[in-house]
Structure 1
Amino acid sequence: MTATPSRAHLTPLVRKYLDDERAEVESIRVDPIDHAPGTPSTGGLRRVSGTTTCGHTWSFFVKSLHSARHWAHIGVIPEPDRTEFVAAFPWRTEADVYTTGLPLPPGLRLPRLFLVDDLGDERLDLWLEDVRTAPGEWDLTRYAAAARALGRLAGLRPADDSRPRTALRTYVGQRLMNHVLPVLRDPALWRHPLVAAHADPLLQMDLDTLARRVPALLAAAGRLPHTMAHGDAGPQNLLVPADDPGRFVAVDWGWQDPVPIGFDLGQLLVGLAHDGLTEPGELPVIHRTILAAYERGLADEGVPTRDAAAGYVTTLVLRSAFTAIPAERLGEPVTGDLRELFRKRVGLARFIADLGLALRPDTSHI
Structure 2
Amino acid sequence: MTGLPGGLATDALRDDLRRWTGRPALTVDAVDCAPLPHRISAPTTRALTRVRVTASDGTGTQELRLVAKELQAARHGLPPEMPDDVRAHLDAVIPWRLEADVLTSGVDALMPPGLRTPDVVALHEQDGDRITLWMADADPVGTPWTPADTVRAATGLGRLAARRIGTTTAPIPGGDFLTGYRDEQLGAWAVPWLLDDATWAHPLFRLPEVAVLREEVCGLARRVADVHARLAPLPLLPAHGDPTPMNLLRPRSRPGEFVLIDWGMTGPAPAGFDLLPLLFGRAESGTGPADEVPALLEAAVPAYAEGLAAEGVELPVGELAAGVLTAALLRYPCTTMPLSLMTEPVTDGAMARARERAAFVRMVLDLEHTA
TM-score range, shorter chain: 0.7 to 0.9
CA distance in 2 between partners of 1:4 and 1:122 (Å):
14
Task: Output the amino acid matched with 1:152.
Answer: R
Counterpart of 2:226 in structure 1 is 216
- Secondary structure (helix, strand or coil) at the match of 1:254 reads coil
Structure 1 residues 69, 280: closer, same or farther in 2, change over 3 A? closer
Structure 2: runs of 5+ lacking an equivalent:
none
Counterpart of 2:43 in structure 1 is 40
Task: Output the amino acid matched with 1:316.
Answer: A
Report the TM-score, using the length of structure 1 for normalisation. 0.87
Counterpart of 1:347 in structure 2 is 359
Provide the aligned C-alpha RMSD in A.
2.8
CA distance in 2 between partners of 1:284 and 1:11 (Å):
49
User: What are the Cα deviations for residues 18-46 of structure 1, in whole angstroms up to 9, with x where unaligned?
Assistant: 44222211111222235444312212211
CA distance in 1 between partners of 2:325 and 2:80 (Å):
31
Deviation (angstroms), 1:316 = 1.7
Counterpart of 2:244 in structure 1 is 234
Asked whether 1:124 is paired with 2:131, we answer yes
- Secondary structure (helix, strand or coil) at the match of 2:241 reads coil
Question: Segments of 4+ in structure 1 off by > 6 A?
Answer: 160-164
Deviation (angstroms), 1:194 = 5.8
8 Å contact from structure 1 (residues 198, 346) kept in 2: no
Deviation (angstroms), 1:52 = 2.1
User: What are the Cα deviations for residues 233-291 of structure 1, in whole angstroms up to 9, with x where unaligned?
Assistant: 11111111111121110010133331100111111122211221222222211222222
User: What are the Cα deviations for residues 149-174 of structure 1, in whole angstroms up to 9, with x where unaligned?
Assistant: 11111222236799772432222212
Structure 1: runs of 5+ lacking an equivalent:
359-365
Asked whether 1:97 is paired with 2:107, we answer no
Deviation (angstroms), 1:333 = 6.2
Asked whether 1:148 is paired with 2:155, we answer yes
8 Å contact from structure 2 (residues 240, 267) kept in 1: no
Paired-residue identity, %: 33
- Secondary structure (helix, strand or coil) at the match of 1:259 reads strand
CA distance in 2 between partners of 1:197 and 1:74 (Å):
30
CA distance in 2 between partners of 1:219 and 1:159 (Å):
24
Asked whether 1:290 is paired with 2:300, we answer yes
Counterpart of 2:182 in structure 1 is 172
CA distance in 2 between partners of 1:264 and 1:57 (Å):
35
> Please, which of 61, 70, 89 is the counterpart of residue 64 of structure 1?
70
User: What are the Cα deviations for residues 276-316 of structure 1, in whole angstroms up to 9, with x where unaligned?
Assistant: 12222222112222222212212222322223223322222
Task: Output the amino acid matched with 1:334.
Answer: T
Counterpart of 2:16 in structure 1 is 13
Deviation (angstroms), 1:95 = 0.9
Structure 1 residues 249, 332: closer, same or farther in 2, change over 3 A? farther
Task: Output the amino acid matched with 1:348.
Answer: F
- Secondary structure (helix, strand or coil) at the match of 2:49 reads strand
Deviation (angstroms), 1:186 = 5.0
Counterpart of 1:112 in structure 2 is 119
How many pairs does the alignment contain? Answer: 357
Structure 1 residues 303, 346: closer, same or farther in 2, change over 3 A? same
